Amino acid sequence: AAKLSPEKLLCQLRDRVNVTMIQGSDGPFDTSEWQQYLPGKSLNETVGRLGRCAVVSSAGSLKSSHLGQEIDSHDAVLRFNGAPTKGFQEDVGQKTTIRLVNSQLVTVEEQQFLREALYNTGILIVWDPAPYHAEIHEWYRKPDYNFFESYKAYRSTHPEQPFYILNPKMQWQLWDILQENSMEHIQPNPPSSGMLGIVIMMTLCDEVDVYEFLPSKRQTDICHYYQKFHDRACTMGAYHPLLFEKNLVKHINQGTDEDIYTHGKVTLPGFRNVHC
Ligand code: NCC
């Protein structure tokens, strides 16, 4: 049971979650060294004004969904981490406008990240778990995963591909709203890439359709649609407050329960269509 009405919750998200990318004018990044790596254009300038957008979770329940065409009919599509389209078009589509990756992938799986063609399409955004409400300087000194060198290496080999670093403030602004609207105490771990991606698209688009974040009738213990690995924690959450994220998204859904059941689909308004 959430505490605020869906309308009030949308206003809180719109007004309190600041979705920004690290810029050359930000704290420790305001050096000539960093200027050459950070993209010159803002994310807004790069994507322009987007109409209908799709966010595609990596859940195993996308398998056999046949949602590919519907997903590709959107103006922009956001995907996560190493989620592929090749070989899975029928279920997840082939368009990738933005790919949100976590710093663990960029660091621990650096070799794949620097080599695999799947990362070379669309706009990349990387995020890293920061200490609770830490200043950018503090986070920069002790990131969860030190992805900065790998970021620079990628930028050097793909200078034309927009690649942003998500301002870490966003994760805790969002976490505070999750906590305030939950009856239980939530562990202070940042939201999942899924939840961050949803809010990023709400800032860029008129309307956002999210697929298989709230599981459909195809719900399964299979973690990802592209792997055979079974783990219930992928859908329910372990480190990330995934269950609380899903309750919140269910609460602000403007689509029908039928759409969730059959398509795993939730429809959310873009913030420019939220009037407070
Ligand atoms: O699994 P992951 O997430 O890449 O999935 C992206 C987002 O899709 C939603 N999801 C996924 C699976 C599922 N069964 N149900 C879902 O709802 C979630 O919202 C999820 O965020 C991450 O959030 O970044 C995460 O990343 C992986 C892993 O680091 C990357 O895939 C790179 O290999 C994490 N797994 C591990 O660390 C083992 C996962 O916990 C979170």
3-state secondary structure of 127: strand
Given the DSSP bridges, would you call strands 205-211 and 265-269 parallel, antiparallel or unpaired?
antiparallel
Ligand 1, CB within 6 Å, residue ranges: 57-60, 80-82, 102, 104-105, 192-194, 213, 223-224, 234-235, 239-240
Please state, as a whole number, how many other Cβ atoms lie within 10 Å of the Cβ of residue 233.
12
- Compute, in angstroms, the gap from residue 101 CA to the centroid of ligand 1: 10
pTM: 0.98
- Compute, in angstroms, the gap from residue 103 CA to the centroid of ligand 1: 12
DSSP for 177-214, written as a single string: HHHHT-SSPPPS-PPPHHHHHHHHHHHHEEEEEEESSS
Of 138, 242, 228, the C-alpha closest to 190 is 242
> What pLDDT was estimated at residue 232?
87
> What pLDDT was estimated at residue 237?
87
Q: Is 97 in contact with 122 (CB distance < 8 Å)? A: yes
Please state, as a whole number, how many other Cβ atoms lie within 10 Å of the Cβ of residue 136.
16
**Alpha-carbon span 28 to 257, nearest angstrom:** 46
- Compute, in angstroms, the gap from residue 58 CA to the centroid of ligand 1: 7
> What pLDDT was estimated at residue 3?
83
Structural tokens at position 164: 């942003």
| pLDDT block averages, 10 residues each, the chain of length 276 | 87 98 95 95 96 98 98 98 98 98 98 98 98 95 98 98 98 98 94 98 98 97 95 89 96 98 98 97
